[in-house]
Homo-oligomer: A and B are copies of this chain.
Amino acid sequence: MELLQETGYQYIEGGVCAANGFVANGCHCGLHPDPNKNDLGIVYSEQVCHAAAVYTTNKVKGAPILVTQKNLAAAAGCARAVIVNSKNANTCNADGEEKARKMCELTAKELGIRPEEVIVASTGVIGQTLPIEPIASGIAPLVSGMSPKRHGQAAAAIMTTDTVKKEVAVAFDLDGKTCRLGGMAKGSGMIHPNMATTLNFITTDAAVSHAMLQKALSDVVKVTYNCLSVDGDTSTNDMVCVLANGLAGNTEITEENEAYETFKKALYLVMLHMTKMLAADGEGASKLLTCKCSGAPDADTATAVAKSVIRSPLVKSAMFGSDANCGRILCAAGYADAEFDVHKIDVSLVSKAGVIAVCADGNGITFSEEKAASVLAEDEIEIRINLNQGDGEATAWGCDLTYDYVKINADYRS
């Protein structure tokens, strides 16, 4: 997958520890039956951070979400650590909040900080009691092994059905100081707008006020994670969280000035790439799908169309089969919750192998099936829709629907 190159930004190694002052670790504490699978991860900042977060819009919220919300409120938007486990979502459990608070207390004690400075997250099966013992015995070695080099261990700890670790980081300048921003994400199934659609932890050494950090995150989420759909299911435990410790030494960003835009672009690049990685690694996915809608009466209409097409099981199945079924694309555009003239739509399919137009003025057109098949044989496909009635545009990301999606989800709990 190609990284979007922008002048002034350089992709670097280091993931969630790319920024100065952050350490991390991951280990197998015993929640997962496979002793080689990390199931407990930590991120820690030597300096207190401003913290911003966005959460799932599902009414059924995981206990860790509720505890994190309370902690951030109690600590006035500051935090120093993230503790996260996989295999069990600690959601829809009678003792869920108690266990989530316990995770914060255990972590805080070991780190010598306050429990409300800890962000807690869990991902995995919903509705099964979380065993706290493995976590309680795992935290001490987890903390003692923390280092800037162990970011990959943390990234591995949050994986569930993910097949690849997801880490991205960039370096950029603010006031002549080098700043770094990087993160790790997990997510494969149960991914859909609207909300963070993933567990994603981002750290930066840039100095940014809590309010500006939250604003940047909320804005960027709209055009990245909220335009991502693997299966239409909005998870109960989704959270994106950004920690900023200010160690880069730039003048703190407290208003929407040029420095804010520079910082926000860095956040966008990292979250955009994470979004694409999540889509490409969607459960069972064999192809990354991008739907770009342009020419819409406004941006909201473009977003509605792009999301509707990327979500359609019929479009997703056709892409899996390399079938240039433009009717399904038009159909999905047609039931998008937005008003526009369907008689002006042009559609083409784009990949490294070329571009093929399949629809003009809302009607199917004749095209070379051979060329279409070669375009769709690639593993990154763009569905390009021009509504030809304005300047609104938007992009949404997703993946194809495959046998493996069904296989993975037919027996997820075992």
**Chain A residues packing against B (C-beta within 8 Å):** 57-61, 89, 91-94, 96, 125-129, 189-190, 192, 231-236, 311-314, 317-318, 320-321, 323, 325-328, 330-336, 339-340, 342, 358-359, 361-364, 401-403, 405-414
Complex-state Cα separation, A395 to B363, whole angstroms: 37
Looking at chain A's contact residues, is the secondary structure mostly helix, strand, loop, or mixed? loop
On whether A127 and B232 interact (CB within 8 A), knowing A335-B58, A363-B94, A406-B405, the answer reads: no
CB distance from A60 to the nearest CB of B (A): 3
Tell whether, in the assembled complex, residue A335 and residue B409 are in contact, meaning their CB atoms are under 8 Å apart.
Answer: no
Closest 5 CB pairs of A and B: A126-B327, A127-B364, A321-B410, A60-B334, A317-B409
Q: Assess whether B342 is in contact with A60, with CB atoms less than 8 Å apart.
A: yes
Given the interface pairs A318-B410, A321-B410, the reply to whether A333 lies near B232 with Cβ below 8 Å is no
Asked if B409 and A326 sit within 8 Å, CB to CB, the answer is: no
In contact, A323 and B403 (Cβ under 8 angstroms): no
Q: How far is the CB of A101 from chain B (nearest CB, A)?
A: 17
**Which of B323, B407, B409 meets A314, CB within 8 Å?**
B409
A232 to chain B: closest residue by CB: B313
Say yes or no: A406-B401 contact (C-beta < 8 A), given A92-B327, A94-B361, A313-B231.
yes
* A362 CA to B327 CA, complexed, in Å: 41
Known A60-B330, A236-B331, A334-B58; judge A313-B409 contact (CB<8 A). yes
